[in-house]
């Protein structure tokens, strides 16, 4: 029988109240959102907080909306809500792709976006998707609000820049025209972490790639991103050869760790192959492709 160790429980009535509770109880307090990462960790004694601050009642943190030229996602948004969001699907189908393969439908009902990110598992899917989209994390503390680029959010496995006393409240993604995005994952079965997964976002500028984002998870990519592949893609003409080469570059810079999900060589293979596939699907979804302009045609 697996049960968490003794713990105190506090329920936050507002973001300010949550921050006050965190301040009062100090570094041994943990935020409890959906609990679908934290409670399993507590059962295993891999996490042993003294106080849980339950934020499930904070409806103010559960939303998806356009805010100026950005998509804003509240940290308490459930995975199922992101999966079914037409707004997210219209602007960033990479998020819909990723949500389809995160955990299982029942877990997605309660697990939250912010909880997944703060758990900071090195195989977590949205970390790669938000890295590809170059999202911004919004973090609140009693002193105010600060923002951190998605690629600087994680400081290591299961570690983030969110300090004791702080709360991740929102994820923001710039909406820019001419973009397409996708996410591709290889997993052993429903509900398992990926063996490897890649997300890609492309913004076309005439016949060439104006900007590219490539995110990778479970394959030991630094900051869940493939910066060298992005550099190669910038200004290149989109197409199978370009995407294949980008995949090779991404794989070269990964440091996959062999485990029960597969050997390092296979994970490196996946990093290459899935990067190429994600880029190809992202291109298919970019408006220029839909308009019939052939990739590579002078624009």
Partner 1 sequence: MQITVTVNGTAYTRDVEARLLLIHFIRDELRLTGSHWGCDTSNCGACVVWLDGRPVKSCTVLAAMADGHQVRTVEDLARGAGLDPVQEGFARCHGLQCGFCTPGMMMTARWLLDHVPDPDEATIREAISGQICRCTGYENIVRSVRWAAEHEAAARAAESGSQP
Contact residues toward partner 1 (CB under 8 A) are 1-9, 11, 32, 35-36, 39-40, 42-43, 52, 54, 56, 80, 103-107, 109-110, 190-191
Residue 113 or 132: the one with the smaller Cβ distance to partner 1 is 113
Minimum CB separation from partner 1 for residue 6, in Å?
A: 6
Residue 42 or 95: the one with the smaller Cβ distance to partner 1 is 42
Distance from CA of residue 224 to its chain's centroid?
Answer: 9
Query: Nearest to residue 30, comparing CAs of 7, 3, 52, 45?
Result: 52
Give the single-character DSSP code of 45.
T
Minimum CB separation from partner 1 for residue 253, in Å?
A: 33
Minimum CB separation from partner 1 for residue 159, in Å?
A: 23
Residue 81 or 170: the one with the smaller Cβ distance to partner 1 is 81
Minimum CB separation from partner 1 for residue 3, in Å?
A: 6
Q: Which residue has the tokens 């103010």?
A: 60
Burial class of residue 249 in the structure, from the number of CB atoms within 10 Å of its CB (0-12 exposed, 13-18 middle, 19+ buried): buried
* Alpha-carbon span 8 to 125, nearest angstrom: 31
What backbone torsions phi and psi does residue 167 show, to the nearest 5 degrees? Answer: -140, 125
Residue 30 or 269: the one with the smaller Cβ distance to partner 1 is 30
| CB 202 within 8 Å of CB 212 | yes
Residue 32 or 198: the one with the smaller Cβ distance to partner 1 is 32
Minimum CB separation from partner 1 for residue 259, in Å?
A: 18
């Amino acid at each position: 029988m697996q049960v968490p160790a003794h713990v105190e429980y506090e329920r936050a009535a507002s973001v300010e109240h949550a921050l006050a509770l965190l301040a009062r109880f100090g570094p041994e307090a943990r935020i409890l959102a959906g609990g679908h990462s934290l409670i399993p960790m507590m059962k295993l004694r891999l996490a042993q907080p003294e106080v849980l601050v339950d934020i499930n009642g904070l409806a103010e943190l559960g939303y998806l909306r356009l805010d100026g030229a950005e998509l804003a996602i509240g940290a308490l948004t459930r995975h199922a809500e992101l999966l079914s969001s037409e707004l997210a699907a219209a602007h960033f189908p990479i998020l819909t792709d990723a949500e389809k393969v995160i955990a299982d439908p029942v877990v997605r009902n309660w697990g939250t976006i912010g909880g997944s990110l703060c758990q900071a598992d090195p195989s977590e899917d949205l970390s790669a998707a938000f890295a590809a989209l170059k999202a911004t994390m919004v973090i609140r503390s009693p002193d105010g609000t600060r923002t951190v680029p998605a690629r600087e959010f994680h400081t290591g496995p299961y570690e983030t820049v969110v300090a004791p006393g702080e709360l991740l409240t929102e994820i923001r993604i710039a909406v820019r025209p001419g973009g397409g995005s996708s996410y591709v994952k290889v997993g052993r079965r429903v509900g398992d972490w990926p063996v490897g997964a890649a997300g890609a976002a492309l913004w076309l500028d005439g016949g060439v790639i104006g900007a590219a984002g490539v995110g990778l998870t479970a394959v030991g990519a630094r900051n869940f991103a493939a910066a060298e592949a992005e550099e190669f893609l910038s200004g290149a003409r989109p197409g199978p050869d370009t995407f294949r080469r980008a995949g090779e570059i991404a794989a070269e810079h990964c440091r996959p760790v062999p485990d029960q999900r597969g050997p390092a060589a296979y994970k490196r293979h996946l990093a290459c192959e899935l990067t190429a596939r994600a880029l190809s699907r992202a291109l298919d979804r970019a408006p220029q492709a839909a308009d019939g302009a052939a990739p590579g045609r002078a624009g």
